[in-house]
Amino acid sequence: MFRVWYVLTFVAVFALLGGGCPLGTLPDSGTPVSNPDGGASSTSGGGSSSSTAGATQDNQDFEDQLTGLFPDCSESADGDDWRDEILRLVNVERERAGLSSVSHNQTLEDQATQYACELIHYDFFDHENPVTGTSLGDRAEDFEYDYYMIGENLAAGQPAPAQAMSDWMSSEGHRENILNAQFTELGVGVRTGGRFNTYWVQEFGQPRNP
């Protein structure tokens, strides 16, 4: 059984996010969140202390930090291929819809990867971490991603990229994020561990200064 969840975030307004959804069902829609003035509007308490975010860092350093913070969260042997395939499949769907492709963004990938580890380590499935209280906007701030708009899709339990994409595209809200013409960048996180074994996170963005 699989889980999917999405949110489109306009941080200057607000984010309305529900709890986890039962396996095999789709969640209610998230609430749009944008950031016309730059920077996230607020940071919830407790979230920054466990972040590995900051300036661009070496991939191995980032992986080492994740291992230290979240020892039960692992990189799949197919991780690089799976991330590339999710990006490719997103752009296939966007091309079909007559939209421009999104490009890979390493900051968004790091943000997505760490959040996948949080889902595993804290054993939850939601756009807000119930332990740290941090939301999508807070995570973008932690990772210093300066944006006009960001969006997030979550999935868990799918054994391969094609299944994760199929589930997202079968859900109106997830599909809207994938086919949102305003998004120009994407970072994909894929990690293994936890009760669903494989966790998928898409972080979409429109940067303020591309």
| H or E element in which residue 87 lies | helix 79-96
Is the pTM higher than 0.85? no
Cα(189)–Cα(66) distance, rounded to whole angstroms?
Answer: 13
End-to-end distance of the chain based on CA atoms, in angstroms?
38
The residue-averaged pLDDT of 26-51 equals: 36
AA letter at 104 = H
**Between 55 and 48, where is the model more confident?**
55
Do 197 and 123 form a contact (C-beta atoms < 8 A)? no
Token duo for residue 59: 């991939």
* pLDDT tens digits, 53-80: 544 457 888 888 888 899 999 998 999 9
Cα(152)–Cα(203) distance, rounded to whole angstroms?
Answer: 5
Give yes or no for residue 207 having a pLDDT over 70: yes
Strands (E), the chain: 3-9, 103-104, 147-156, 185-193, 197-207
- Kindly give the residue spans of alpha helices, DSSP state H, lying in 122-187: 136-142, 161-169, 172-178
In this predicted structure, what is the pLDDT of residue 58?
Answer: 75
Do 151 and 6 form a contact (C-beta atoms < 8 A)? yes
- Kindly give the residue spans of alpha helices, DSSP state H, lying in 1-78: 59-69
* pLDDT tens digits, 100-155: 999 999 999 999 999 999 999 999 999 999 999 999 999 999 999 999 999 999 99
Burial of 59 (0-12, 13-18, 19+ CB in 10 A): exposed
